[in-house]
Structure 1
Amino acid sequence: MLRRSIIGILSAVLFIACGLVCMPSQAFAAQSQTAASTGTQHRQVLSLSEATAVVTDTSGYHLKVTITNTDSQQWQAGRLSLNINSDYTFTSRTDMQEWAQSQNMIPAPNELGSVAVPALAPGQSTTVAINAKADNAALTSIMTWGPKPLLAVYAHDDENVELRSFLTRSSAGLAAAQTPAMQITMVAPLSSSHWQVSNEALTAMVNNPVVSNSGNGQTTADAASSGEYGKNDNAAVTLNSNHTRFDRSLSDVLSRHSALQVIADPTYLNALNMPPKVSALMQPAAFDITAYAADGSTQRYANAGVQNSMWNAKASLTQYRNAIGDNNATIGTVAWQGKGHWTMDALTEARRHGYSAVISTADFEPSASDTVRTGTNVVTTDAGDITVLVEQRELSNLAQGSATSRKARAESSEAGRLARFVAQSAFYQMEQPYTQRNLLVNFGFNADAATLNSFMSAVESSPWLQATDLQTLCAATPLASGDDAQANVPRESDIGKDDAAFIDSAIAALSASRSDIIRFRDNIMKPDTTATHDRDNASTSDDRGTWINRILNAQSTMALRAFTADDSDAALPNAMVSGAQQLSGIVMNSIALTPSEAVTMVSETATMPVTVRNSTPFPAQVTVSSITDSSEIATSRRTTITVPAHAETQTTFRLRAATSGSAIASIALEDRVGVRFGQMQQTSISCILKISDMTGFIIIAAAVVLGLLGLWRQFHRKKDPDE
């Protein structure tokens, strides 16, 4: 027995030595050469464009590589060769990662093929393909399923450039024992960043009264509060007209891959002409619950226009029912993670507002060195138990377009990340083939239809994986519960400084905009003390309340979307804040002063007309104030007027001048509590009198007296004898 063991060891050593000696030179890429060549490169020379994700006994292997001359000199014609090690089996995650990062020396003696590469000018790129048929010697020499080292070497001008990736062989056609497939749940959020705010729609909303929709008695304000704001012409926030139809390529992907679990923003579904079928709902507008909980002030968000009833699970279901036109429809709700971690406060808020499960990033996952397990935690909060569905870190990062490491250069392209995804998932199954697990893979908000299709096709082609749904994942035996789960909960939200600063500034700006609208309602609109029909204004107090509520709902709609967890468009939250400020500006400027002409005084007193315009469909009651910058020319200070709906009202100010000169009158509008609003007007006043009225009379009287005295003296003076 000992003799046979020694012989076996010697045979293995001899086999490895022969492999090292006999291996073609291009199968090795000297690390010193690679470092020297890449040290001066600003772009990657080799990039994986296409690759067969799962290799079977009949598939063969297809690969496309894009080669770019990153040098300042022309490269002569070269050759790209592709090799694998058909006998090698990765033994650890570290082993795989070091191969991907070119940090270990695994031989690759089995050649799949090679192809000539033309000469390349500086900056020029070319794409070459290698196609190995199913009967290729390197492929048929693979005896075990799983990931194998794949090495592409580009030889040119006495230099070799390598690219390391993985070829994953399935068990099809191999004499290998079949093991249970590992469960995997592929989740993609469905939302949109193509929301827009129309200045014309906001202006029309302020200038026009509320009308019923299609004779059904429902007003547009009612529609806004019930979720219809995405579908009517008076909507504050609408989808871009090019995106109201669900993307056809994405629709095809969802139809083709029924195992893909789509968690949708119900406000997006409600704005589509024909919403797709989805697996579950997230919170409306993907509202960031983690940031809300980290702020810790419900009142601050309420002041900004975000009420809890706008983003809870009930609101999500209501929006969904409106979207599909079925008031009895039911569907699960899952809260999506925002910019912060799911702290205990955040989980409590989610559970309190009706969500029994949340999607989490890898906050709850054990360290990367542990064996992967089902990523679910059942956490007990003050509001009840909540299930935290934790994404698997490496697989989710790859699906979201991130390489496992900056040094893993093959993963800079989607084809390279897909190859690593398939290889990594196969390794996870091989790691513990008989342990039941269900891994969550999160595509994130930025995945497009092509990415979803590629990864889902790879999962469905991998016999070691079994795609499941959210219900199966939620029902799986959790990784932790009770005290163990609470120990996994992050203590801090860890929201970035920039995100925290934006949230604070957004709350301040939105609170100011909402405060202006409420101020307009309470202190500028004419008080309506009755609920009866107003003949003068052809309206009722109910109409008045519905109109202002529509404006407040519009502000709330923009405020809710300003705090979205959807990070696919960083400019969207700012656009929503700007839209809310724009709306409040339109409201406050709907009562405005019309430009006044200059006033010229030809006497000690005069009047100055001032006209106030009302663009809204309801009367306003305001105070007009006036003051001059001169002590010689003064105006009366204030007058209160009522301006009818869609009309103008003129009032006058008394002017008095003590002497000739000029002045500027500053005219402003004030609400009923004396706070100014709107744009101030300035009117020039000129006084051209040399003297005042009373002085003139005195001078005239003195002239008459002097004239009479002169005449009397003329007739009564004694003549000189010499005359």
Structure 2
Amino acid sequence: MVVRKETQQTGVIVNQSAQRHVSRGLRALSSILAMVLTMALMLLYAPTPSARAMESTTSAESTDGMLSINSSTAVLTDTSGYHLNATVTNTTGQEIPAGTLTLAMNAFYTFVSRNDIQDWSEGNGRIPTPQSVGQADVPALQPGASANVSIDADAHQESLAAINSWGPKPVLLSYSANGTPLAQSHTFVTRTGAGLHTPSTPALHITVAQPLAANGWTTDSKLLGQLVDEGGISSSKLAKIAMPSKDDDARLKSLQQTFAKHDMLQVVGDPTYLQAMAMPTRVDGITQPALFDMTAYSAMNNAPAYSAAGINDRQWSAAKARKTYQSALGDSNADITAYAWQGNGNWTLQALTKARQQGYGTVIATHDFEEDDADTVRTGKTVVSTDVGDITVLSAQNVLSGLAQGKATSDDANADSEGTTAGRLARFVAQSAFYQMEQPYAERNLLVCLNEDSDPSVVDALMSDIEQSPWLNLTDLATLKDADISEDAASMSTDLPQTDGLTDSMRSDVQQTLSALANSSSNIKRFNTSILVKPNGKDESDVNTWSRQLTNAHTIMALHALGGESPSRSTMAEGANQLAALLINGVAITPTESVNVVSETAKMPVTISNSHPYPVKVKVSSLTDSMQIVTSRFDTVQVPPHGEAQVAFTIRVSTSGTANATISLFDRNGAAFGATQVTHITSALQISDKSGFVIIGFAVLLGAVGLWRQFNRKKDPDE
């Protein structure tokens, strides 16, 4: 099939109307005359001094937030009419007098290229809009004040009735006061073929995928306390130790209402989120557990770091995702397709190979996979050959997905109509119609990916607009996955992203999270192997079960911390650290009072407490900061569940004085843990001590020798 270039007129086959039988020369001449007349009127108009002053003060701000489209008709039919609501805001520093909001369009214009439609969206297109659709009065506005204004035109309005071909049309919304233009907004309306004598062409297939995931994860502190204090909880409770944020409950209800209204919206759910629900919602597929960021995993290329953080490959495999989904439904036979959803990085060949190795036959590329400069849009499916087998990539169409996710098509467009949801939806509808007109008879299926945090009301509005667009045909993910592609599977490997796509900031965040998780994982492992006592007998099974649950709880939190969402990264890493801290700090030294020593030796009792439901065995160390007052170095103690045990260190004193003894805990492998305690030791030796008698005897001997020398020495003659 021949593909037309962007500069070629689109819609030639589609828009066969009476208007096209009019001479092109006459149409061009009429357009030129209209433009000349408009310029002449502008030249004849002479603004008053006050208008000139207002224009000079507002020109720099006229397009910056002054005009905002709240809602507008995106799909125009022969019976719908056109309805627009906008907010006009005085962003200047002075009062703006009463003005007028005018809605105009070009009923006969057909966009000829992607640049053409983009220029209009950014306010750079020089397309006349001679057909007036309606006007509305705007009251005088004080600085900072706003006015809500609506324009409504029924289906019989002259400009709307004049449209004789289907497709996107340029619409201009302009605001003026005292005859001075103050602000403009360039938007679109797309006319369907209803009521027009134009032949129909095959609809463009489109698949819309909504990831269903929590906006943020936190740790259930109550369950965490029960796990540590009670020696274990049920497996169903353990699975919910990571819980969605408080805002997710209300959002989920709204999303479920949207899902019920739009059957063809493809919902791809995080199985751990479904497991956290009291009643799992209907989904068309599942993602990897906790939306674990596979692309970041491949980009970091450091499997040992993930292992040290408590994460192994089994925990984010496709098999684990299905098992979690079955647990959420309570049906061990439930089957569903698992899709590997893209994280912050790119789907490089290395990342795709790992996904295939993990059991995912299909991945979803939400960004940076499709070519930006492709001549025409193509089916969003690619098959890539890897060392472990072929894998299917369903790639989102960049422009449509960006608009659906609330992103303007360019920074310039942010200052114009695409700065609002209504403006972006109008552009989405117009863009999709343009794509159909580029190749009206080519069968294609485009993928539109929404965000994890998409606003339910925006999703509802988007799906409603698509459903009202007869040039679009909604399909499901299974249909897209089975769609025919023209590219050879093996050749596509050379066109894959060559860089991992992680910024330095993203890489640093992942590394910090891995380091924090490695520390908490190490502490939990140390507690299980070198502090906790696992006795033989009836309690052995219970202790082993508890140990496994402690490790599994950390894994759950680590998995969510390494997902694609940054808020969960910090909260879940903090939860993992909290678990480790509860275990380590549950074995502690009870503070002791100062010790007074009045003899050469004494005992210093130290009490160790254990708040856990099973016994622990640790080493206790004492070290003083004095050479004259010392204690024995180590002692070992086993502390019963929820109890205390005491050890006694021997103090040895060689002189009166003071010293501080630092008491520390060590695990059975000799590694210190927990908080230290300092005990003050004061020594006041008495004469009754052997050392005292030795000192006195030595002093008497020195005195006797001194007296003998004094009486027996020879005196000098001078004395």
TM-score, scaled to structure 2: 0.89
Do the aligned residues in 1 keep the contact of 2:88 with 2:146 (CA within 8 Å)? yes
Distance 1:345 1:129 in 2: 53
Q: Which residue of structure 1 aligns with residue 32 of structure 2?
A: 17
Q: Which residue of structure 2 aligns with residue 511 of structure 1?
A: 518
Equivalent residue for 1:436, pick from 431, 438, 443: 443
Distance 2:62 2:655 in 1: 82
Superposition pairs for residues 390-539 of structure 1, below 5 Å? 390-408=395-413, 409-528=416-535, 530=536, 532-533=537-538, 539=539
Structure 2 vs 1, CA of residues 340 and 700 (structure 1 numbering), >3 Å: closer, same or farther?
A: closer
Equivalent residue for 2:239, pick from 229, 240, 245: 229
Q: Which residue of structure 2 aligns with residue 548 of structure 1?
A: 547
Q: Which residue of structure 1 aligns with residue 290 of structure 2?
A: 285
Equivalent residue for 2:162, pick from 114, 125, 141: 141
Is 1:130 the equivalent of 2:145?
A: no
Structure 2 vs 1, CA of residues 41 and 62 (structure 1 numbering), >3 Å: closer, same or farther?
A: closer
**3-state SS in 1 of match to 2:143:** coil
Q: Which residue of structure 2 aligns with residue 607 of structure 1?
A: 603
Distance 1:669 1:328 in 2: 50
- Range with bigger deviation, 297-306 or 243-252: 243-252
Is 1:264 the equivalent of 2:269?
A: yes
Q: CA offsets per residue over residues 182-219 of structure 1, 9 Å max, x none?
A: 100011100002421144433332222235xxxxxxxx
Q: CA offsets per residue over residues 433-491 of structure 1, 9 Å max, x none?
A: 10100000111212111011000000000000000000110111125333331122112
Distance 2:128 2:251 in 1: 49
Q: Which residue of structure 1 aligns with residue 359 of structure 2?
A: 354
**3-state SS in 1 of match to 2:411:** coil
Equivalent residue for 1:321, pick from 318, 322, 326: 326
Q: CA offsets per residue over residues 61-118 of structure 1, 9 Å max, x none?
A: 0001111111001100000110000011111111011111121211101000001000
Do the aligned residues in 1 keep the contact of 2:99 with 2:139 (CA within 8 Å)? yes
Do the aligned residues in 1 keep the contact of 2:534 with 2:544 (CA within 8 Å)? no
Do the aligned residues in 2 keep the contact of 1:510 with 1:577 (CA within 8 Å)? yes
Do the aligned residues in 2 keep the contact of 1:246 with 1:275 (CA within 8 Å)? no
Q: CA offsets per residue over residues 287-346 of structure 1, 9 Å max, x none?
A: 011111122233321221112111111111111111112111111111100111001111
Residue 495 (structure 1) shift:
0.6
Residue 382 (structure 1) shift:
1.2
Distance 1:312 1:696 in 2: 75
**3-state SS in 1 of match to 2:533:** coil
**3-state SS in 2 of match to 1:39:** coil
Q: Tell me, which stretches of 5 or more residues in structure 1 are unaligned?
A: 212-219, 534-538, 706-723
Could you list the runs of 4 or more consecutive aligned residues of structure 1 that deviate by over 6 angstroms after TM superposition?
A: 32-36, 698-705
Equivalent residue for 1:165, pick from 187, 196, 221: 187
The letter for the 1-side match of 2:74 is A
The letter for the 2-side match of 1:114 is Q
The letter for the 1-side match of 2:522 is S
Q: Which residue of structure 2 aligns with residue 710 of structure 1?
A: none
Q: CA offsets per residue over residues 44-76 of structure 1, 9 Å max, x none?
A: 111110101211000000001111111001100
The letter for the 2-side match of 1:358 is V
Q: CA RMSD of the aligned region, Å?
A: 2.7
- What is the number of equivalent residue pairs in this alignment? 671
Residue 174 (structure 1) shift:
0.5
Structure 2 vs 1, CA of residues 246 and 99 (structure 1 numbering), >3 Å: closer, same or farther?
A: closer
Distance 1:253 1:363 in 2: 28
Distance 1:459 1:488 in 2: 31
Distance 1:543 1:103 in 2: 72
Distance 1:497 1:516 in 2: 29
**3-state SS in 1 of match to 2:412:** coil
Is 1:620 the equivalent of 2:616?
A: yes
Residue 681 (structure 1) shift:
0.5
Q: Which residue of structure 1 aligns with residue 587 of structure 2?
A: 591
Distance 1:188 1:479 in 2: 27
The letter for the 2-side match of 1:323 is A
Q: Tell me, which stretches of 5 or more residues in structure 2 are unaligned?
A: 1-19, 46-51, 702-719
Q: Which residue of structure 1 aligns with residue 563 of structure 2?
A: 564
The letter for the 2-side match of 1:581 is N
**3-state SS in 2 of match to 1:363:** coil
Q: CA offsets per residue over residues 640-669 of structure 1, 9 Å max, x none?
A: 111111110011111121111111010111
Distance 2:347 2:317 in 1: 17
Q: Which residue of structure 2 aligns with residue 719 of structure 1?
A: none
**3-state SS in 2 of match to 1:418:** helix
Distance 1:479 1:191 in 2: 34
Q: Which residue of structure 2 aligns with residue 214 of structure 1?
A: none
Residue 240 (structure 1) shift:
4.3
Residue 254 (structure 1) shift:
0.3
Distance 2:691 2:428 in 1: 100
Equivalent residue for 1:176, pick from 173, 198, 201: 198
Distance 1:699 1:44 in 2: 93
Distance 2:699 2:318 in 1: 93
Structure 2 vs 1, CA of residues 652 and 437 (structure 1 numbering), >3 Å: closer, same or farther?
A: same
The letter for the 2-side match of 1:256 is K
Q: Which residue of structure 2 aligns with residue 108 of structure 1?
A: 129
Q: Which residue of structure 2 aligns with residue 65 of structure 1?
A: 86
- Range with bigger deviation, 40-49 or 425-434: 40-49
Residue 283 (structure 1) shift:
0.4
Structure 2 vs 1, CA of residues 694 and 274 (structure 1 numbering), >3 Å: closer, same or farther?
A: same
**3-state SS in 1 of match to 2:368:** helix
Is 1:197 the equivalent of 2:219?
A: yes
Q: Which residue of structure 2 aligns with residue 45 of structure 1?
A: 66
Distance 2:215 2:32 in 1: 58
Q: Which residue of structure 1 aligns with residue 569 of structure 2?
A: 573
Is 1:295 the equivalent of 2:295?
A: no
**3-state SS in 1 of match to 2:614:** coil
Structure 2 vs 1, CA of residues 607 and 132 (structure 1 numbering), >3 Å: closer, same or farther?
A: same
Q: Which residue of structure 2 aligns with residue 714 of structure 1?
A: none
Distance 1:249 1:516 in 2: 41
Equivalent residue for 1:685, pick from 656, 665, 681: 681
Q: CA offsets per residue over residues 662-694 of structure 1, 9 Å max, x none?
A: 110101111112211111100011123354612
Do the aligned residues in 2 keep the contact of 1:374 with 1:479 (CA within 8 Å)? no
The letter for the 2-side match of 1:621 is K
Residue 700 (structure 1) shift:
9.2
**Percent of aligned pairs sharing the same letter:** 42
Do the aligned residues in 1 keep the contact of 2:561 with 2:569 (CA within 8 Å)? yes
Is 1:81 the equivalent of 2:75?
A: no
Distance 1:657 1:198 in 2: 52
Residue 162 (structure 1) shift:
1.1
Residue 14 (structure 1) shift:
2.5
Do the aligned residues in 2 keep the contact of 1:658 with 1:692 (CA within 8 Å)? no
Structure 2 vs 1, CA of residues 701 and 443 (structure 1 numbering), >3 Å: closer, same or farther?
A: closer
Structure 2 vs 1, CA of residues 558 and 10 (structure 1 numbering), >3 Å: closer, same or farther?
A: closer
The letter for the 2-side match of 1:642 is Q
**3-state SS in 2 of match to 1:167:** strand
The letter for the 2-side match of 1:420 is R
